[in-house]
Chains A and B, each alone.
Chain A
Amino acid sequence: MSGLNGPELLRIEGLTKHFPPRRGFLGRRGSTVRAVDGVSLTIRQGETLGLVGESGCGKSTLGRCIVRLYEPTAGHMSYRTADGNEVDLARVRGDALTRMRRQIRMIFQDPRSSLDPRMSVFSIVGEPIRLAGERRPRVVRERVAELLTQVGLREEHMDRFPHAFSGGERQRIGIARALALSPRLVVADEAVSALDVSVQAQILNLLQDLQEKFGLTYLFVSHDLAVIEHLSTRVAVMYVGRLVELAPAAALFTRPRHPYTEALLSAVPIEDPAEAGKRARIRLPGDVADPSAVPSGCPFHTRCRYARDVCRNEPPPLRDIGSGHLAACHFAEELKLEGARNT
């Protein structure tokens, strides 16, 4: 697996997505929602980049901007195609966009609403194949059967409808649909969050197997840190539309460099009753910041226990601390932050 040292597949620079305030009858209501605010990161071929954060951080919006379900307000997304060309995903349109959407696919969160209830599994998984130009029914059927077997279902499931399947099985169908055209990059938008714990494990195993088999690159968006840690080569932490830390998984979890990451890791319950009582948890005052009312300077300064004056006035840039570890904190080098406990 190329992982950490693979060639660049997607380079995102300054991606911004703002949602304008709703226009009420007598004027504006609410303010601009800065869902994604100047995010820059790189996804390397063969790796799994975990994207983690709490509600309002913009991780789902970022994923949807990559596949152009949302139109970015600003920024570039340089994608390197299979034949070596560079395409700006933020600008591409028409047929070129359709072609890009075959190489970059998405797995959705909710197994209940991600499959059309009126279409058979064959139609659902075969749709991208047919829309890509393959008209011969026999060929489509064979390919769908192949995909279903690869995701752990059976060929006879093709003629059934989504209501006949459980949540985990529907998610497998969604994965089969995502893989139908042999993509290179898959954005998994909270792909296991709506599943039971026992089923989550099945799907996580499946995703890992498929990655190995087909050399896929994943952008795995989730709020569940345990799942992120399990699956990711590198992890990106977002807070209120900004990227606050980006590092190889092991480094991030043992020695984070941003106070928010530290607080996040501290808040995750430990699945060991002996350890659970021992550690002092960092309590963050207030609630998760609102993307329509972003604090000045560093957006985390209102809740950060290390905040100083400079944090209120100047937004910290995302800097390279060393060995591929990026953090957006004025004091990233000085602070001695605690990671998740070791077992």
Chain B
Amino acid sequence: MTTESPNLLEVEGLTVEYASRLGTVRPLDGVSFDLKRGHTTCIVGESGCGKSMTARAILQILDPPGRIAAGRVLYHPTGGSGAIDIATLAPTGRHMRALRWGEIAMIFQEPMVSLSPVHSIGNQIAEAIRLHVRGADPRARGIEMLDRVGIPDAKRRADAYPFQLSGGMRQRAMIAMALSCHPKLLIADEPTTALDVTTQANILDLLRTLREETGMTLLFITHDLGVVAEIADEVVVMYAGHVVEHGTVQQIFRAPAHPYTRALLESRPRRRHGRLAAIPGTVPAPHDRPSGCVFRTRCGIAVPGLCDVKPPLPVSTGTEEHQACCHLAGMTPL
């Protein structure tokens, strides 16, 4: 009897690279984290950290010439029948296509760009259902989903085209499309970044409710720490293609162990006036990363001779689930 793994997805040492004129570029370098079944995990980081690319790598929809060069993406299907390494599947093969949307679905940042402008939203949802769910009436199911995500007058709205809907409505339609096949994992790539704050609040509530109702796992990618605090159970902090810290949301916010996480939290305006503790410098370009620890050029406590020599390995601080990739983690007082 195999017990179901507590993790739905385990990413181990995922590395994406491509060759360019400037040499081999690694937008993702040894990324490892786990997604607990039924939990919401947030990947947080700034531009160029590779969070979107991680999502695309999991679904094998990387833009060429990028390709997975190393690592495993272990998917543990519900029912405990063993793990599948997604990274070994052919991106356009039958298995991958069945996984995509059937088990793992994704919603994107710009619904105007990700929804087909020439098909009605009802049509687009019906197409997804037709491909993955047998014996269901695609149109009826589609209308049911639109209703579930809170689109008023779903029957009539199903025939609307994306340009006829507002930003919030389009994002809801996108969520309906993603959930129409009852996936086990929903990856949300900055779904609320382009929305107004009141609309964002509604979408976050919707996602939370749907997650509770269906028990699915949510991987939420964002750069907004407030959203992370609101929605996450676990947090993965990424910087320049590396995971620098991961832990529960309380651990990350209460006791951040990595200098980057600490600096990020300090640099947000928070009801205190006066200067913000800004991180000097800028994120290095993927082909221009420093040797050793990738954050050392902007880190206030970098130790020459240590931090510039070898890349840091994950170190547990406190509990097993809270780890930071820093040579000095656990040594500096927090």
Contacts and interface: CB of A to CB of B under 8 A. Distances in A.
Note whether A and B contact each other (Cβ less than 8 A): yes
Nearest to A275: B229
Nearest to B201: A267
Given A226-B268, A226-B270, A268-B226, A196 B283 contact: yes
Interface stretch (A60-68, A139-147, A283-291, A310-318): A283-291
Contacts, number: 122
Interface string B152-194: 0000000000000011110000000000000000000000000
Given A229-B269, A264-B197, A343-B271, A269 B280 contact: no
Contact of A201 (B204, B227, B250, B276): B276
Interface stretch (A6-14, A73-81, A202-210, A240-248): A202-210
A133 interface: no
B70 interface: no
Given A269-B230, A273-B249, 18 more contacts: A197-B223, A198-B279, A200-B267, A201-B267, A226-B268, A230-B273, A230-B276, A266-B201, A267-B198, A269-B201, A270-B229, A271-B229, A271-B265, A272-B229, A276-B230, A281-B201, A287-B168, A343-B271
Main secondary structure of the interface of A (DSSP, over half): helix
A109 B101 CA distance: 37
Residue in A196, A198, A230 whose Cβ sees the most chain B Cβ within 10 Å:
A198
A28 B227 CA distance: 42
Given A54-B198, A204-B276, A205-B276, A197 B270 contact: no
Contact of B267 (A197, A231, A264, A270): A197
B90 interface: no
A307 interface: no
Contacts of B223: 196-197
B291 interface: no
Contacts of B227: 269
B166 A287 contact: yes
A261 B202 CA distance: 16
A267 B169 contact: no
Contacts of B204: 269
Contacts of A55: 167, 196
B264 interface: yes
Interface of B: 46-47, 166-169, 196-202, 204-205, 223-227, 229-230, 232, 249-250, 253, 263-265, 267-273, 275-280, 282-283
A153 interface: no
Interface string A201-233: 110110010000000000000010111011100
Contact of A202 (B202, B225, B264, B278): B278
A41 interface: no
Given A269-B204, A343-B271, A288 B278 contact: no
Interface of A: 54-55, 166, 168-169, 196-202, 204-205, 208, 223, 225-227, 229-231, 253, 263-264, 266-276, 281, 283-284, 287-288, 340, 342-343
B197 A271 contact: no
A197 B264 contact: yes
A271 B282 contact: no
Given A201-B267, A271-B225, A196 B275 contact: no
Contact of A223 (B197, B201, B205, B272): B197
A277 B284 CA distance: 36
Nearest to B47: A196
Given A197-B223, A269-B204, A273-B249, A284 B198 contact: yes
The 8 closest A-B pairs by CB, nearest first: A269-B226, A230-B269, A201-B278, A201-B267, A267-B201, A54-B196, A201-B276, A198-B279
Contacts of A263: 198
A270 B283 contact: no
B226 A270 contact: yes
Contacts of B272: 230
A263 B226 CA distance: 17
